[in-house]
Amino acid sequence: MERYTNNCRFILSCNYSSKIIEPIQSRCAVYRFRPLSDDAVSERIRYIAKKEGVEVADDGVEAIAYVAQGDMRKAINSLQAAALTDSIIHKDVIYRITTTAHPEKITDLIQTALSGNFKAARTKLDVLVLEQGLSGEDVIGQIYRAMFELDIPDKLMVELIDVIGEIDFRLTEGANEKIQLEALLAHFALRSE
């Protein structure tokens, strides 16, 4: 990198600069970009789909924006994979190929657990993990995102987010996914009103 700086440049694009080793980071100029808005992702996906002759339903575009979380690379990859699967791209295709649960199912899971019905919540979790093949980290991430869409008192929200963080940490440390996700649901059920 240092020998050829007069005639060569490298551009490293990543979502987490902390995952690039320090010796490389120290030789780089870091430019940070915020995630794109859902509207910007949707607009660009519609443009690409039109240029490529791919038919995308409105719910498919919304699903791509949800899955991408502001990452245009992820949005384009989702569109491309879905185009290989179906002639008309709907939300079900997007959620299936990206192994993402429908947001409504995650919301339903949370509300069932918060109502105190642990067994029903556990059954819904089993569908997501065992039948749809979602990983524990994916489920935790989606539960975290869905929490802010729900009408939950602040004090309870803080307690639940703390538990989500603890479970997420345990999963990254290699704990058993099924036990940890069920422990999360148990915490939610214990805090039912």
Domain ranges in the chain are 38-97, 103-190
> Is the per-residue pLDDT at 106 higher than 80?
yes
Q: Thinking of the domain 103-190, which architecture would CATH place it in? A: Up-down Bundle (1.20)
What average pLDDT does the structure give for the chain?
90
Give the global pTM: 0.79
> Is the per-residue pLDDT at 1 higher than 70?
no
> What's the mean pLDDT in 139-148?
94
One of 1.20.120.640, 3.40.50.300, 1.10.8.60, 3.40.960.10 is the CATH number of 38-97, namely 1.10.8.60
> What's the mean pLDDT in 137-146?
93
The residue among 157 and 10 whose pLDDT is bigger is 157
> What's the mean pLDDT in 98-106?
92
> Is the per-residue pLDDT at 115 higher than 80?
yes
R_g of the chain computed on alpha carbons: 20
Whole-angstrom distance, CA of residue 178 vs CA of residue 91: 27
> What's the mean pLDDT in 58-80?
94
> Is the per-residue pLDDT at 109 higher than 90?
yes
**Strand 55-56 relative to strand 88-89, pairing:** parallel
Question: According to the model, what pLDDT value does residue 193 have?
Answer: 59
> What's the mean pLDDT in 31-55?
92
- Can 38-97 and 103-190 be said to share one CATH topology? no
> Is the per-residue pLDDT at 132 higher than 70?
yes
Q: How far is CA 112 from CA 36, 122, 131, 144, 174, in A?
A: 32, 9, 19, 15, 27
Question: According to the model, what pLDDT value does residue 133 have?
Answer: 87
Question: According to the model, what pLDDT value does residue 25 have?
Answer: 85
